[in-house]
Amino acid sequence: MNVMDSFRLDGKVAVLTGSAGLFGRQIADALVEAGARLFIASRNIDSLEEQATRMRQDGHDVTAHTLDQGSEESIRMLLDFVLEQAGRVDILINNSVLRPMSDWSSPAEDFARSMEVNATGIFMMTRAFGEQMAKQNGGSIINIASIYGMIGPDFTLYEGLGWGTPPDYYFHKGGMIQLTKFAASKLGPHGVRVNCISPGGFYNNQEQIFVDRYEKRTFLGRMANEEDLKGAIVFLASDASAYVTGVNIPVDGGLTAK
């Protein structure tokens, strides 16, 4: 096989959760541009349908389906729907995230709700889809974590801005990286690869003082943009990474390497 052909996803069936967010949009674009048939899923079905319609107008095969990631029944319904429509599932991208906490002082109930969706939910997604891939003797699961699952918060970035820094995000993103390694070991004998991407900060018209502070902490001198995740996603989803599993790839402009 020509090495460039190994990056193609033609004939592959991909499932992406949280497709409408900052990272989700470029992940969705990357998958369909590489040739995958894509199923997008989240709680807001109206928003998903709008996104799917736009992508179909560009000639891509995209289907929307509702998902409550905190419900094992909802996860099973999504998997059954994909199998009914496409007959198999080759790629799962766990990108959806719930953000009930605002900062350290938020109620403990908010932390518990976060874990229900962001920790238990990711486990249930990975187990359900991973076991289906194991039956097929192959597949790729990609978890979208964060550099904040790798390092602690730098509160000086937010001085004077009045921004909260929720602890649950650090907790479940760090756990996601470890779950990736566990699932890679569990599913590897069945040909299923499980990897993780930890993006850095995404430029979203934040206050300039924050942008300046953040960019100084990276080697490349900038925040992430709307294209920066696409290459890593296609690499890990495709046969180009056929011997790569259990890894976490920071896509952060060098911030965590400092």
| Domain at 129, CATH number | 3.40.50.720
Residue 195 to residue 140: CA distance in whole angstroms = 8
Cα–Cα nearest to 110, from 168, 152, 149, 69: 168
Backbone angles phi, psi at 102, to 5 degrees: -105, -35
Instruction: Compute the Cα dihedral for 163, 167, 168, 174 and give only its sign.
Output: positive
What are 27's two structure tokens?
């992940």
Residue 82 to residue 62: CA distance in whole angstroms = 11
Residue 161 to residue 157: CA distance in whole angstroms = 9
Task: Give the pLDDT confidence of 200-235 residue by residue, as tens digits.
Answer: 999 999 999 999 999 999 999 999 999 999 999 999
Percent of the residues in the chain that have a pLDDT greater than 90, as a whole number = 92
Pairing relation of β-strands 139-144 and 91-94?
parallel
User: Coil, strand, or helix at residue 158?
Assistant: helix
Task: Give the pLDDT confidence of 39-70 residue by residue, as tens digits.
Answer: 999 998 999 999 999 999 999 999 999 999 99
Give the pLDDT band (50/70/90) at residue 4. Answer: very high
Give the range of the structural domain holding residue 186, as residue numbers without chain letter.
Answer: 5-257
- Specify the pTM: 0.96
Number of compact structural domains in the chain: 1
**C-alpha dist (Å) from residue 38 to 17, 58, 90, 136, 230:** 11, 13, 10, 18, 15
Please report which helix (H) or strand (E) contains residue 177, including its range. Answer: helix 167-187
pLDDT of residue 128: 98
